[in-house]
Structure 1
């Protein structure tokens, strides 16, 4: 029962977002929502950050000055049927819309190092826009090989992203390849196969997931390291702590070390950058995903504390107790 990820939606039908796979932590199914609220008091204090009326989809980002969060989603009753980019104070509050219109999702935002611009994906292409949405958007060339997704900027404004192409096999699998470039699309370099890449704080390494495991590689593609090796579970969507000493990620491992049989029972875990000191952070039987460190807190997306049939994903903050 090794981690074979079978794609259920053909590439031509995918609109910008190509995450729909079996046992994929990047999106939730109906089983990922619960009215319960896990309060992990032994590890920290839990608080909802995004507005109650907001549905947040996929990756969000935190501004370099730690004052704002930008997410992709929509507002209940707002008239939008597609995800747009929204900004909220990191402490919570009203949402401000950044993008609007169009016929495709705007997702996976990431700030430039000065906080003035955002890069994001839409319809398999990469774009840049001012953080207030003014002045229109600029196309970033990308890989030129297929759908380009999940752009992320380093502290030096180096871009890392994935390209997705369909492999013509009897299963029609999707192949994900990691690329780097500068913000204008120059110095394009293919790193290796993998997805959900994110830079280390110093911009010297890239962390990513592949085949259900967490990996680390130098920015030039050298010194590949496998950080997890769990044959019966899936571990994905990693990111670094601010000091680069810890990694937070998503896993469907249970307390007994086995694979969760519920399709959307994902929890947040952490470990050191050498793969040691692995520990579970959240424990609720719900969908917790897309974790990001900020200082002594972990922000993540979750289907917890949702009314019956409402099925709303929101951003939560777990302020960790000092060790």
Structure 2
């Protein structure tokens, strides 16, 4: 077999030991991926290749340990007076910082380099932000540490809002990941509202998946009434809520919405999936649905001879994967 990669084309070898190769440089070819010796059958077989010279380590090579040490050294400067060339004044508190590091955030870089106000100043006032949230942002700039998952979702949201205000995409992404990891029955509704408020599709999808997995607890829980109109309608449009329709109606009827919102939200309840008894005993007395619509739903229910209230979805197993279907 003839091979023409590398240097010194035409060099002939009779064994694999005659080759030097490395997969760590674009100048070397990994013979294991080439497969040249897959066809090497005996010592009498000759392979024409370029003899490759092994790479030599140089002083300018950077190792993972070097990068780790660099990050550690930069992190040690967080709120450190050493080499500080700017002071951020936040709610009366002075935070020592370093312009070169603050430049990781474009907003702060622009603030520092604003010649008309700040270029010659050693102190810069930071206003209209949460002091605690700003410190989280500042720490992220120095350490790239992820936001700690705590029960204080409010603080995480403040950091997210600040990251968006400062156009700091890295921090925004890290905060979203934290919110996704922190989802629980207590904060799911407020987090879904946040996802819709800022149109965070990734976070929204994570919330919807969590709701699907805990539908009954969430729909019948106290937090459901705190959902925004948009959040409620999005959930009611889904076919994957494993909750009896009557429970959905009961929860929706408790939501604090104005008249226009009521019409949109109540309209998302699937009346024909209720029983006649549900309509007569619960829906009709609420006066939230027009009599004409209730009559139409009753006719449809009778036609399909529904005996019990049904769920929107039913969990099934197929090929070791969860899949859902509408249970009519």
User: Whose Rg is larger?
Assistant: 2
Greater per-residue strand proportion: 1
TM over 0.5: no
Q: Which has the higher helix share?
A: 2
TM-score, normalised to structure 2, is: 0.18
